[in-house]
């Protein structure tokens, strides 16, 4: 079975994670895909495939006789889809021999435009898979899941020599909890790769340092007719706080290694207001400076409006995996070589986000990320090509080959 055929099966299984949930998995529907994957793995001959009570799927393929001393190599993808946009009732569109032009997304009124997604020009002649405009697609990260599953099938059916191969599928990556209950020892790999988004041939091992910050503003509400020198409007203080952050250091105005403050949620009344941000920077020193700026703003607001007016809570989420991966730079070198041998142009780029691998690298499992051929994630313009997914499968098979013959 081709990887894209698996993708089409997986995307119609609802798996959005739920950021409001305190359970793991955050949504019970993720078990539907997990259980289906376990059954599929067993049907392929991976008898030890299992899903635990937290919805983590683990499986492994024993080393080919004579290659037991090869590095134990892992591949990981996440099963959940982003809660940012509707992830239920996905109805993918499959466009064979795509003409390289704008694509009408079903009857939604939305159009996938080349001017917004210029990579579409290079997809002319391929089989393009899109949404119908009413939901996201789920290529993030079901493309990664499908590519790993296809790799497993190829290894077993074609009797490809290999060291021990470890397979892991995680829940709740999209809400930052994918590694929370991942059992590195049970997984059993020495090193691993996540397959999680990005163009085929992309290799990522530098991600943001990440934190969440919440400003809670406590106002003082009195009748507006007698409010002079008494009222403190929490909403206005919140606006003032946002205005003290650098206006050009937001996602819409940054790229590459540039960090940002991103206002994700806000709510409020005169009495109380809340601003929630994510803070991101690849450079650890600049990351710490961003958190310090948030602290300074809170302090200055309390000096101006009175102690206790502004409460700030900052929580680190994950760190740049670069420092954990660089001692195992063979992961990157082999990935680049494998990409070339698979017919791709390898491109090492920084992640402007995070993956399970970022946290797993700090848990003792060096784990850079590989692209899966997808674009436009977390929304109705998500798309991927069958051929791009095929390239990704060939690339990870080449990686397996390199670890098999080199160890």
- Residues with a catalytic annotation lie at 80, 173
Separation of alpha carbons 18 and 175, rounded Å: 7
Under DSSP, the state recorded for 367 is -
For residue 191, CA distances in Å to 62, 366, 407 come to: 16, 5, 13
| SS3 label, residue 140 | helix
For residue 154, CA distances in Å to 1, 141, 206 come to: 9, 20, 30
Residue 365 · residue 187 · CB < 8 Å: yes
Closest CA to 383 of 155, 153, 92: 92
With tokens 């992640």, the residue in question is 351
Strand pairing report for 191-195 and 347-348: unpaired
Non-local (6+) Cβ contacts of 39 within 8 A are: none
The token duo for 391 is 């390239």
The token duo for 130 is 């899109």
Closest CA to 80 of 147, 29, 130: 29
Separation of alpha carbons 246 and 250, rounded Å: 8
Dihedral sign, Cα of residue 49, residue 201, residue 260, residue 233: negative
CA atoms within 13 A on the CB side of 31: 9
For residue 260, CA distances in Å to 84, 280, 288 come to: 19, 5, 12
Separation of alpha carbons 378 and 137, rounded Å: 8
Closest CA to 398 of 168, 406, 355: 406
CA–CA–CA angle 286, 352, 22 (5° rounding): 95
With tokens 């393009």, the residue in question is 128
Number of residues in the chain: 407
Separation of alpha carbons 301 and 79, rounded Å: 42
For residue 280, CA distances in Å to 290, 349, 370 come to: 8, 16, 21
């Amino acid at each position: 079975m081709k990887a894209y055929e698996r993708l089409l099966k997986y995307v119609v299984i609802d798996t959005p994670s739920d950021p409001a949930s305190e359970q793991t998995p955050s949504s019970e529907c993720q078990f539907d895909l997990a259980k289906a994957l376990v059954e599929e793995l067993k049907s392929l001959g991976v008898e030890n495939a299992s899903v635990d009570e937290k919805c983590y799927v683990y499986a492994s393929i024993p080393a080919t006789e004579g290659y037991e001393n090869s590095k134990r190599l892992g591949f990981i993808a996440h099963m959940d889809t982003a809660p940012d946009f509707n992830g239920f009732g996905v109805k993918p569109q499959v466009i064979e021999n795509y003409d390289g032009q704008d694509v009408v997304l079903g009857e939604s009124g939305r159009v996938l435009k080349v001017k917004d997604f210029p990579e579409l020009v290079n997809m002319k002649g391929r089989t393009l898979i899109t949404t119908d405009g009413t939901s996201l697609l789920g290529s993030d990260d079901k493309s990664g899941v499908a590519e790993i599953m296809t790799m497993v099938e190829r290894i077993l059916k074609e009797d490809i020599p290999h060291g021990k191969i470890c397979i892991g599928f995680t829940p709740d990556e999209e809400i930052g909890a994918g590694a929370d209950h991942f059992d590195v020892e049970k997984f059993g790999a020495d090193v691993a790769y996540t397959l999680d988004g990005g163009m085929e041939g992309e290799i990522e091992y530098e991600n943001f340092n990440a934190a969440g910050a919440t400003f809670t503003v406590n106002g003082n509400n009195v009748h507006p007719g007698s409010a002079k020198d008494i009222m403190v409007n929490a909403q206005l203080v919140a606006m003032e706080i946002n205005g003290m952050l650098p206006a050009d250091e937001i996602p819409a105005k940054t790229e590459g290694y540039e960090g940002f403050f991103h206002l994700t949620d806000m709510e409020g009344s005169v009495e109380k207001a809340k601003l929630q941000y994510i803070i991101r920077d690849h450079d650890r020193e600049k990351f710490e400076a961003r958190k310090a700026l948030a602290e300074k703003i809170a302090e200055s607001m309390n000096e101006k409006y009175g102690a206790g007016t502004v409460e700030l809570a900052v929580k680190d989420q994950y760190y740049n995996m670069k420092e954990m991966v660089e001692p195992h730079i063979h992961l990157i070198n082999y990935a680049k070589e494998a990409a070339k041998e698979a017919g791709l142009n390898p491109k090492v780029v920084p992640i402007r986000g995070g993956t399970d691998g970022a946290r797993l690298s700090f848990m003792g499992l060096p784990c850079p990320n590989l692209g899966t051929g997808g674009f436009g994630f977390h929304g109705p313009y998500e798309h991927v090509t069958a051929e791009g997914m095929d390239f990704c499968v060939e690339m990870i098979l080449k990686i397996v080959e390199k670890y098999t013959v080199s160890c």
